[in-house]
Amino acid sequence: MPKPSAMKRDHFSSGLGAFAATLGSAVGLGNIWKFPYLTGSNGGAAFVLTYLLSVALVGLPVLAAELLIGRRTRLNAVHAYGTVVKGQKTWALIGWAGMISALLIMAFYTDVAGWVFAYVFKAGAAALGGPGLGPDTFSALAGGTWEPLAWQAGVLVLASGIIAFGVSRGIERATKTLMPILLVLLVVCDIRALTLPGAFAGVDFLFRPDFGKISASVLLAALGLSFFKLSLGMGTMTTYGSYLPDTARIAPTAARVALADTLVSLLAGLAIFPAVFAFGGQPAGGPGLLFNTIPLIFSKMAGGPVFTTLFFILAAVATIGAMVSLLEVPVAWLVEKGKMRRPVAACLTGGAMYALGILATLSQGRVLGDVKVLGKNFFDLFDFASSNVLLPLGGIAIALVAGWLLARKDFEAELGKGYGKRPWHTAVLSAFLRFVTPVLVLAILLNGFGVLRL
Ligand code: PHE
């Protein structure tokens, strides 16, 4: 393999561009669709609290470790882990498992993203005087055959098209423009929801914890969400780290991304739950929460259809950076290993994801709705196997590699870039990666699977 320095690689053009792209990968359906529905069905504030702890104690250290390993090696995920510990090629497994996770996640992610894009048009049509969005709209869409498959194909073509343009022109430019639009739209929705009479019950639901609600499955769900949310445990952030300029400081970049991403989730929660409670809706609405409740709730307000359309435009915008980063893991490998051209690699990866995605999409309807593997349909199986199993396992391995196996001088050199002397957090991060993070993840996994009773 050529030395990293001998390879001409594309990269993010500046620290800000790298931050925007990394945040663009983190922010997505996880904030707007998954965080609210998991919060709603796992008891509200108690889940939010465990999630926040998981981001701080597990997510943040793993994010820093991934960016660090990525920039140290400047390679795709498979080669990064295969070379980062001298003489131990087996860690390339982290990258291979990551590719499987990327395929599994994209299979259901593009299904949900397809619903979101469909809702932009359906809500837009309603705002222009067409038929309104009723409770049947979602079940007809998600449970259909050709319609969801067509939307899914559409979003995959869009994401693969962006990826084909490359790192700084494609990923960075797209996310730099999209992120600010997203924030503005979210704040508009928040103001609308929070000024409703009775909105406070939703704020209460989000922030006043009932500790009795914390259980093994709530812990596992919160842990899984923190990996999914920050795009961790599968090499996405390692790949993005490999494009990080040397001027970017690893720890502050990771901290800012984790903080901003969490803020977006909370802003999404603050748009959804006050409205749910103000109109007497059901917080535990499951994966359909976003699609069933938002139009219903906004339809009872002045200017409702316009707000509904805005909300789904916002969600659609958020899916793009995340999908692009999921595609980038296999694409970077195909380009560097297979010497493939980016557009070809993007088409190939998109095609493989569509093949698996068809299974996820059809498992929501009549065609494959009855097929269960381990008691779950394909959609739920892909989601559970990635977020709650593969990503946490990847996280443990990454923490071990960065904390125990990586040469100390490499670890310190990467963390110290951009600083005059060794920054204070070097020892803290190292202690977390060695002891706190892997032990916590392992305990929650074993507890969640009933192997251990905490
Ligand atoms: N973080 C993205 C989201 O919240 C999903 C994602 C997971 C992206 C894993 C890349 C890798 O929507």
CA distance 355 to 357: 5
Most informative mutation of 22, 23, 25, 264 for ligand 1 (most atoms within 8 A of CB): 25
What pLDDT shows up at residue 167?
A: 63
Whether the CB-CB separation of 36 and 267 falls below 8 Å is answered with no
Considering the domain boundaries, does residue 145 fall inside one? Answer: yes
10: burial class by Cβ within 10 Å (0-12, 13-18, 19+)?
middle
Q: Is the CB of 25 under 6 A from ligand 1?
A: yes
What pLDDT shows up at residue 184?
A: 84
Domains of the chain: total:
1
Considering the domain boundaries, does residue 3 fall inside one? Answer: no
- What is the four-CA torsion angle of 277, 280, 285, 291, rounded to 10 degrees? -90
Q: Is the CB of 242 under 6 A from ligand 1?
A: no
Most informative mutation of 22, 104, 229 for ligand 1 (most atoms within 8 A of CB): 229
Q: Residue 248's closest CA among 91, 371, 419, 109? A: 419
CA-nearest residue, atom 11 of ligand 1: 231
Considering the domain boundaries, does residue 2 fall inside one? Answer: no
Q: Residue 115's closest CA among 64, 150, 167? A: 150
What pLDDT shows up at residue 395?
A: 98
CA-nearest residue, atom 4 of ligand 1: 30
Quote the ligand 1 centre to 176 CA distance (angstroms): 17
Please tell me the number of Cα atoms within 13 Å of 48 on its side-chain side: 25
Q: Which atom of ligand 1 is nearest to the CA of 261?
A: 4
**CATH number of the structural domain spanning residue 134:** 1.20.1740.10
What pLDDT shows up at residue 3?
A: 38
What pLDDT shows up at residue 169?
A: 66
Residues of the chain where predicted confidence (pLDDT) is lower than 70: 1-10, 166-172, 174-175, 297, 300-301
CA-nearest residue, atom 9 of ligand 1: 231
CA distance 118 to 138: 10
Considering the domain boundaries, does residue 422 fall inside one? Answer: yes
Q: Residue 401's closest CA among 92, 3, 75, 74? A: 92
Considering the domain boundaries, does residue 4 fall inside one? Answer: no
What pLDDT shows up at residue 5?
A: 38
Considering the domain boundaries, does residue 10 fall inside one? Answer: no
Q: Which tokens sit at 23?
A: 């945040």
Considering the domain boundaries, does residue 405 fall inside one? Answer: yes
Q: Is the CB of 325 under 6 A from ligand 1?
A: yes
Q: Is the CB of 438 under 6 A from ligand 1?
A: no
Looking at the DSSP bridge assignments, the partners of residue 376 are: 373
**What range defines the domain where residue 420 resides?**
15-448
Give the CA distances from residue 315 to residues 45, 112, 256, 298, in Å, rounded to whole numbers and listed in that order.
Answer: 23, 10, 21, 15
pLDDT in tens, 237-260: 999 899 899 999 999 999 999 999
Quote the ligand 1 centre to 27 CA distance (angstroms): 7
Quote the ligand 1 centre to 30 CA distance (angstroms): 6
Considering the domain boundaries, does residue 26 fall inside one? Answer: yes
CA-nearest residue, atom 10 of ligand 1: 231
C-alpha of 116 from chain center = 16
Q: Is the CB of 324 under 6 A from ligand 1?
A: no
pLDDT in tens, 118-159: 999 999 998 898 888 877 899 999 999 999 999 999 999 999
